[in-house]
Amino acid sequence: MFKIEINGVSKVFRSERSAEIVALKNISLKVNEGEFVTIVGPSGCGKSTLLYLIAGLVTSTEGEILVNGKKVNGPDPGCGIVFQEFRIFMWRTVLKNVLFGLEIQRRFPKDKQMELAKKYIEMVGLSGFEERYPRELSGGMKQRVAIAQTLICNPEIVLMDEPLGSVDSITREVLQREILRLWEGEKKTILFVTHSIDEAIFLGTRVAVISARPGMIKEIFDIDFPYPRTGAEKTDPKFVRLRGKIWEIIEKEVPKLR
């Protein structure tokens, strides 16, 4: 059984004031438990919509999505989402932000919640910053808080919607390695949306390339670089050739955006 199974999914957005917008068309994808699947494609191709469908935040127009063999009919507590924008509370400290999900769930006594919060704060490299407020943190640190806030709730599936799109290039490189380290340690199933072809190849066990709207899967590439990855892969001729293949697909889609 697949962890996630997407079968012929299409999504059409309708409103009274505008014409129908076909965001996704006949998407099919199967994801095994523990995979790290990256999704890349041009702007507006429906990548984020696909994540929201898997999370049960949006309903498909056609087709079905199964998680653990069960049809998704609404928000699934087994799915955690990390957004591009820092979805953290500016009035709460790092510690209080990370604790937020556990406070809502009320699954553990307070001493256990505190133990878990400190564990995940350490995992994302923020020990010593527990009492800092978001205004005192860099963009990369805020995103680390958001990642810890998601992981502490122990989701089986982590959906990451361009989580590194708002940080500088050096921080992005650092966080890529941190995300891989966390993935290898936690063994979560991850779907990761990005605009960066290099990032998609570097992180993923597979890369799904989506067309311009209406978003359709053009091709899926298996990535056979072993883990742990160091960044040296990016200069490997095999990496460069794969980047070129993916770019050729996306380049043909760009004129459709006009």
pLDDT tens for each residue of 25-63 = 999 999 999 999 999 998 888 899 999 999 999 999 999
pLDDT mean over 205-218: 94
- Global pTM reads 0.91
pLDDT mean over 157-175: 88
Which pLDDT score is estimated for 14?
Answer: 84
Q: Please tell me the class of the 1-72+190-258 domain.
A: alpha beta
| DSSP three-state, residue 197 | helix
Residue 148 above 80 pLDDT?
A: yes
- Domain positions in the chain: 1-72+190-258
SS (H, E, C) 210-238: ECCCCECEEEEEECCCCCCCCCHHHHCHH
CA–CA separation, 176 and 229 (whole Å): 10
- Using CB atoms within 10 Å of the CB of residue 30, give its burial: 0 to 12 exposed, 13 to 18 middle, 19+ buried: middle
CA–CA separation, 192 and 204 (whole Å): 8
**Structural contact between residues 204 and 39, judged by C-beta atoms closer than 8 angstroms:** no
Percent of the chain with pLDDT over 70: 98
Highest mean pLDDT out of 17-21, 43-47, 108-112, 234-238: 234-238
pLDDT in tens, 90-146: 999 999 999 988 888 777 888 899 999 999 999 888 999 999 999 999 988 998 999
